[in-house]
Amino acid sequence: MKLGTENKKKTIVALGLMVVAAFLLVRAFSGNGPAPQITAPAGKASDAKSARKPNPLLAHSLDPSLRFDLLKSSEDVTYKGTGRNIFSSQAPPPEIPKEVESAIQQGPAQPPPPQPIDLKFYGFAGPKTGSKRIFLLKGEDIFLAKEGDIVDRRYKIVHVGPSSVEVQDVLTNNTQTIPLSAG
């Protein structure tokens, strides 16, 4: 079984890098050692030292006297805001356009009229006495039906009379009468 340690030079370099990485990790997360500092190039050493001088305390640089002109200018400021509650996590409701408001005031729109049933009488089948069967035409399709049958998976033949057929659209509950006349 091979462990990958056949090349001695690569193995020694890998172990050395692992030791250095472990040392850096311990030093970075221990917090006891001094923080690493970036040193400036040799020519810039004096500039780096002067940049690291601590800032004087803010309390020593402030003027303790009251400036009434600045207070007066801050009193004259008024907050106009947008009217949104900044303490609420919910978004404000969307603004309703004027056109929609006027449509709402007019009342609900009337539903569109039902589509006409596009079946046409084509002819009779069988004897004229007894249960009447009729041929119905829709486009190029011809259907043979009697009372109670469903045609084109949508239209129910409710009643076949001597001069008309009552057809109901089962999807919209629209009922229409189709005259029994060739033409």
For position 110, what pLDDT does the model report?
A: 76
Distance between CA atoms of residues 129 and 58, nearest Å: 113
Q: How many CB atoms lie within 10 A of CB 156?
A: 16
For position 180, what pLDDT does the model report?
A: 79
For position 23, what pLDDT does the model report?
A: 94
For position 6, what pLDDT does the model report?
A: 75
Give the residue extent of every domain in the chain.
Answer: 120-179
Q: Tell me the sheet residues that pair with 176.
A: 167
| Cα 118-119-125 angle, rounded to 5 deg | 175
Residues of the chain with pLDDT under 70: 1-5, 31-61, 100-109, 128, 182-183
For position 18, what pLDDT does the model report?
A: 95
Model pLDDT for residues 124-154, shown as the tens digit of each residue: 887 767 777 888 889 889 999 989 999 999 9
For position 112, what pLDDT does the model report?
A: 80
Was domain 120-179 assigned CATH 1.10.287? no
